[in-house]
Amino acid sequence: MSEQVHRVISVGDLMYLKTLMGPGDSNWRLLEKSFSGKMMYRGSEIHIIGEKPDVDNMVQIIDSLLDIITKQNELSEQEVALALNSPKERLIAEEFDAIQINSRGKPIRPKTLGQLEYVKAVKKNDIVFAIGPAGTGKTFLAMALAVAALKRKEVNRLILCRPAVEAGENLGFLPGDLQEKVDPYLRPLYDALYDILGFDIFQRYMEKGTIEVAPLAYMRGRTLDDSFIILDEAQNTTKEQMKMFITRLGFGSKMVITGDITQIDLPPDKSSGLTTVTNILTGIEGIEFVNLTEKDVVRNPLVQKIIRAYERLEQSFLKSSE
């Protein structure tokens, strides 16, 4: 049995403690649920009692959360869950400067070690492939990096595209002109840009042609110079489409390709361009592949459990088919 210890954290400002607790003490309950010892608060002090390794870990987590509170005067349940999942990674990521300030004045920065490596890869290379499950920030971080490059005048245009492939359902006939027909496929990209830029600034950029949001088919025959180009949902490209897209890269441009190879919506007779390109381009200077995992999920903590459950099912299926 490990040594029992009693550690006291002096918060100082009662408002910080209230923020740490969360609405209806929701954050505090998350912390208590993950801790095998006893936690309590008295005045502006937090008392942590238990076995030494567990107490040391919880002290580190609470210190990192208090640091977040002092920087941004708020703390979300998501941030508590992230700190509980990987406190060391969270501390490393928090040291990274904000990529961009969003439309609500909040900093956008990598929140896990995997995301930190992803951001570094984009800064270092001309082409980056980000592969990982839903909720790992692949597209959102790429958007934030693109907007930051645009504001620093490192590029003149931001080009975002997606393959127009339906996710397992037939939408049938869609009314309207061509842009209205493809808008449903591009809606997630619009939503991310609204959050980063705000609607008014986004609209101005769109009207000037500084930001272009288009389906993948619009890329054929173009050479994209001085641009930050993002291809989202790249698992739904064919081999031919992937080759067509990445060869659009012009001078002074960066390209980020994101996708989740567990969510391919192509017909069974079509191979995904994202699964085949790894073998073709790995090892080429200026191109980097970043693999994100469920540890990098920054949505509801339940999403991590869902991803793990599906991975276990896929592994058992592969074993049974051997």
Q: What is the DSSP letter of 272?
A: B
pLDDT in tens, 36-76: 889 998 888 899 999 888 888 888 888 888 888 887 778 87
Whether 178 contacts 136, CB under 8 Å: no
Domain range enclosing 113: 105-321
Whether 51 contacts 36, CB under 8 Å: yes
pLDDT, average across residues 134-141: 88
202 and 126 housed in the same domain: yes
Residue 231 belongs to a domain with what CATH number?
3.40.50.300
pLDDT in tens, 260-289: 988 888 888 888 999 999 889 999 999 999
196 and 236 housed in the same domain: yes
Whether 147 contacts 197, CB under 8 Å: yes
60 and 168 housed in the same domain: no
Residue 100 lies in a domain: no
Going by their DSSP bridges, the two strands 287-291 and 157-162 should be labelled as unpaired
Residue 99 lies in a domain: no
- Is the per-residue pLDDT at 305 higher than 90? no
70 and 176 housed in the same domain: no
31 and 130 housed in the same domain: no
Q: If you average pLDDT over every residue of the chain, what do you get?
A: 83
245 and 166 housed in the same domain: yes
Residue 202 lies in a domain: yes
pLDDT for residue 118:
93
pLDDT in tens, 66-101: 888 887 778 877 778 777 766 555 555 455 667 877
Q: What's the predicted TM-score (pTM) here?
A: 0.70
pLDDT for residue 112:
79
23 and 136 housed in the same domain: no
115 and 208 housed in the same domain: yes
C-alpha 204/C-alpha 19 separation (Å) is 37
State the amino acid at position 28 in one-letter form: W
Going by their DSSP bridges, the two strands 38-42 and 45-51 should be labelled as antiparallel
23 and 158 housed in the same domain: no
Residue 56 lies in a domain: yes
89 and 114 housed in the same domain: no
pLDDT in tens, 2-39: 678 999 998 888 888 898 888 888 888 888 888 888 99
Domain boundary among 44, 68, 94: 94
Which value, in Å, is the radius of gyration of the alpha carbons in the chain? 22
Residue 285 lies in a domain: yes
76 and 175 housed in the same domain: no
312 and 248 housed in the same domain: yes
pLDDT for residue 171:
40
- Report residue 165's pLDDT band, with 50, 70 and 90 as the boundaries: low
State the amino acid at position 247 in one-letter form: T
pLDDT in tens, 176-196: 555 565 667 677 788 888 889
pLDDT for residue 142:
93
Residue 68 belongs to a domain with what CATH number?
3.30.1370.10
Domain count, the chain: 2
Question: By three-state DSSP, how is residue 306 classified?
Answer: helix
pLDDT in tens, 199-229: 899 899 989 999 988 888 888 888 899 999 9
